[in-house]
Structure 1
């Protein structure tokens, strides 16, 4: 059985965590399979939006306990290499050229919460719990912290990271960690409908450039950020999508993306 499954439907690339018996816990192999799947989806010309989802009751329970036991025997160099392995997955999703939507049908904990955090949008069921529980076992939420601080700000991130508390999907929505809370019966439909709206109304190039800017400008000085923004503005104006979009707008024609 594949630990990660990939299918395409109606221009949506569905990447599915498929270790339900392990609550989709993150092992070295699962992280590698996810990296490969996102590479495939990013290059797939038939895909415009990506949905990250999971089989079973949990979205992702964080690190695999058996794998954590192995890590205790690792040298510093081996642990650093393993940390970089996870860092590359989170960075890949965050920087991906295509929009990624997390479809969270169950608990997203520790590294699993990190997976949802680095996606562009998150849809969750009311029963789902979110949290960074690493401090409770003497570990730290090191890599995802970088993305969480950007996403919800220091005060809210500080509470989640230092307390290790779990929050409900509604509480996660209130602090900006989740975009939409919907029932288990409607979750897949809500995600599909939203993805199709992005697919049919938005330019792929525009979404790609916007994602690139969001990821880049926050670490720049004001002057450098504005200079970068000007260059991206000029680059976008020269794109085929912009030429097509402006022409259609001026001619009062419906744009087909």
Structure 2
């Protein structure tokens, strides 16, 4: 697919997927979602990619849904709107369950659906100037899809506060409550992401990280006994992988291992 609203490139086992619609504050519409889905599919199969870095061009990370696009959708039937909503759902789910680590590079404001994109990343690096918020209730809309992931990530109390007030919070608070994990100056952002991702690329098994992510997504919806049985099965499965054999042998032989 030829991209109009995003860019995709790889370098040193990192795939960089960037929103590239700065004139619209990288707002999301159906075409942007389609391109992002294609880019993540590409990254999943890309042997030159072990970690994905999701970022954006311009001053804003993502302002959420394109309001002009939403206005157009108001003339749609319920089934047409449901199809469009499911389209966005598939993107959030793909990023959340993606087999490779996804790092959000939030260099500017992440609002509404843009904050949703940050929420489904594994890690978020941000800068002090960035604001975060789920502002849908302020325009008569609902933060429907992101709510599913936010409840998992932050719990009900924090989710209620953020979703029902629609208030913006600064990057420091976003880190304190768990929407973001790392707060660095804008001048150090790319260096910090490069150093962190290098640790994952060289120090961790890609297969192990994929299995761990799979379990993190699956376990919260399971009853305790079912979750433990699933974990036991995954434990047994992991012992049979080439990566586990390689890692244990390296540890016992006291040899260095570069994944």
Relative to the length of structure 1, the TM-score reads: 0.99
Give the Å deviation of 1:61: 0.1
Question: Which ranges in structure 1 are unaligned for 5 or more consecutive residues?
Answer: none
Task: Describe how 1:3-22 pairs up with structure 2 within 5 A.
Answer: 3-22=5-24
How far apart, in 2, do the equivalents of 1:141 and 1:123 lie? 23
Kept after mapping to 1: 8 A contact 2:11/2:48: no
Task: Describe how 1:139-158 pairs up with structure 2 within 5 A.
Answer: 139-158=141-160
Equivalent residue for 1:60, pick from 59, 62, 73 = 62
Aligned to 2:211: 209
Question: Which ranges in structure 2 are unaligned for 5 or more consecutive residues?
Answer: none
How far apart, in 2, do the equivalents of 1:5 and 1:65 lie? 23
Aligned to 1:95: 97
Give the Å deviation of 1:72: 1.0
User: 1:139-176: CA deviations, max 9, x gaps?
Assistant: 00000100001111111111000000000000000101
Equivalent residue for 1:49, pick from 51, 70, 80 = 51
User: Is the counterpart of residue 172 in structure 1 residue 181 in structure 2?
Assistant: no
Give the Å deviation of 1:2: 2.4
How far apart, in 2, do the equivalents of 1:16 and 1:2 lie? 11
How many residues of Structure 1 are paired with residues of Structure 2 in the alignment?
257
Give the Å deviation of 1:256: 1.3
How far apart, in 1, do the equivalents of 2:44 and 2:6 lie? 16
How far apart, in 2, do the equivalents of 1:64 and 1:104 lie? 19
Aligned to 2:78: 76
Aligned to 2:165: 163
Task: Describe how 1:109-148 pairs up with structure 2 within 5 A.
Answer: 109-148=111-150
Task: Name the Cα RMSD after superposition.
Answer: 0.7
SS of alignment partner, residue 186 of structure 2: coil
Equivalent residue for 1:243, pick from 229, 242, 245 = 245
Aligned to 1:85: 87
Task: Describe how 1:175-254 pairs up with structure 2 within 5 A.
Answer: 175-254=177-256
How far apart, in 1, do the equivalents of 2:90 and 2:58 lie? 26
Give the Å deviation of 1:46: 1.2
Relative to the length of structure 2, the TM-score reads: 0.98
Ranges of 4+ aligned residues in structure 1 off by more than 6 Å: none
Aligned to 1:108: 110
Give the Å deviation of 1:73: 0.6
User: 1:3-49: CA deviations, max 9, x gaps?
Assistant: 11100011000000000000000010000000000000011011100
